[in-house]
Amino acid sequence: MSSATIPLEYAASSAQTRGHELRSSFALHAKPIVFVPDGDASVRKSLELLMRREGWRSETFESALAFLARPPAMVSCCLVLDVSLPGLNGLDLQKRIAIERPHMPVIFITDMADVPTTVQAMKAGAVEFLTKPFSEDALLNAIQEAIERSRNALGHELQMQILRDCYASLTHREQQVMALVVSGRLNKQIGGELGISEITVKAHRGQVMQKMKANSLADLVKMAAKLGVGETQNDKVQKAATNNDSVCGGTETPPSVNRSTQRLESQHHWLTGQRHRPTRPNHTKVSPIPSSDCSAFTTCAVMPSLHPTQSGMHSRKPLEAKSAG
């Protein structure tokens, strides 16, 4: 790749990113749309007038299938529908919306509702389930909440799309470098793993920071976490092996087990009179014992950490040879 190609590619990707940012700003600040699929023409007309009075746009449809034929709207929006719709009922339409248009909250209005239907709709994420007759304020409050949810979900999705576009603008080598950088590798380590010089790694890192629009390494790490980038295949294998060892009793012993083993070994050395002695803690104060009192000196006097039940186990006197003398 020539040196002249890189600026042109970067300029093209920057223009594409700016285009997404402009569309994102437009989508978040555009007038919200309230979609109303309903088989009753009078209901569609009254709801349309109510939405326009509140400053929202409204689009009505005679059936759920007619609504689904309309391309998704990338603006803040919500869906006001009846449970009973011609063709596809409201609950089935809600399932389709959750998959195909996840940024579109649903509000149910109906003449008759039973408890199972209401529970099913609310569990599937409906903002509100209103039974006619209901007040305008109840519906308007529900729509306001739904539009706010839609705006937040749409903003997150648009930000993720911009982030994905930035990542797609990276070359394969730059993506490799980015994954190793956010994993905590140093330039020298990255160069050794990829078989390139440290200077080349620095150049790739600069391109990554530019194209990803990251102001710092911390920003790049956050972006990588959102994209799911950072762990190499070797890291995943080693992590899985470590987890498997810890679960299945691998060679690595937990620190708590090591400490318990050392404590038991120390007590065993004291009880058997071996020369090995553990280091006495700094907070333990031991007064010098006159040589005339050595005959009364027992293991319990120098082992404050032993359990009281072990006090009867000191039949052997460590200083027995001196006492006999």
Q: Which CATH number do you get for residue 109? A: 3.40.50.2300
**Same domain (yes/no): 105, 213:** no
How many angstroms separate the CA atoms of 266 and 94, rounded?
68
Residue 279 counted as domain residue: no
How many angstroms separate the CA atoms of 178 and 167, rounded?
10
State pLDDT tens for residues 58-70.
999 999 999 999 9
Binning pLDDT at 50, 70 and 90, where does residue 163 land? very high
Residue 310 counted as domain residue: no
By residue range, what is the domain housing residue 186? Answer: 171-227
**Same domain (yes/no): 52, 129:** yes
Q: Are strands 128-131 and 106-110 parallel, antiparallel or unpaired?
A: parallel
**Same domain (yes/no): 146, 98:** yes
pTM above 0.85, yes or no: no
With a CB cutoff of 8 Å and minimum separation 6, the contacts of 231 are 179, 183, 239
Among 123-127, 138-142, 192-196, 308-312, the least confident range = 308-312
Binning pLDDT at 50, 70 and 90, where does residue 233 land? low
**Same domain (yes/no): 102, 206:** no
**Same domain (yes/no): 81, 208:** no
Residue 202 counted as domain residue: yes
- Helices 198-211, 5-29: crossing angle, 10 deg rounding: 30
**Same domain (yes/no): 178, 157:** no
Q: Is 12's pLDDT higher than 80?
A: no
Q: Is 272's pLDDT higher than 50?
A: no
Residue 139 counted as domain residue: yes
Q: How far apart are the first and last CA of the chain?
A: 92
**Same domain (yes/no): 148, 178:** no
For residue 65, is it left (φ>0), alpha (ψ between -120 and 50) or beta?
A: alpha
Q: To the nearest whole number, what is the mean pLDDT of the chain?
A: 75
Among 24-33, 49-58, 151-160, 280-289, the least confident range = 280-289
Residue 277 counted as domain residue: no
User: Given 109, 129, 163, which residue is the final one in a domain?
Assistant: 163
Token pair of 167, please? 């990542």
**Same domain (yes/no): 198, 106:** no
Residue 7 counted as domain residue: no
**Same domain (yes/no): 103, 189:** no
Residue 175 counted as domain residue: yes
**Same domain (yes/no): 65, 146:** yes
How many angstroms separate the CA atoms of 300 and 220, rounded?
61
Q: Are strands 77-82 and 128-131 parallel, antiparallel or unpaired?
A: unpaired
Question: Which one-letter amino acid corresponds to residue 74?
Answer: M
CATH code at 210?
A: 1.10.10.10
User: Given 210, 227, 244, which residue is the final one in a domain?
Assistant: 227
User: Number of folded domains in the chain?
Assistant: 2
**Same domain (yes/no): 131, 43:** yes
pLDDT of residue 16: 53
How many angstroms separate the CA atoms of 104 and 94, rounded?
10
Pick the closest to residue 277 from 302, 295, 314, 255 (CA basis): 302
Q: Is 234's pLDDT higher than 70?
A: no
User: Given 132, 163, 194, which residue is the final one in a domain?
Assistant: 163
Residue 213 counted as domain residue: yes
**Same domain (yes/no): 121, 178:** no
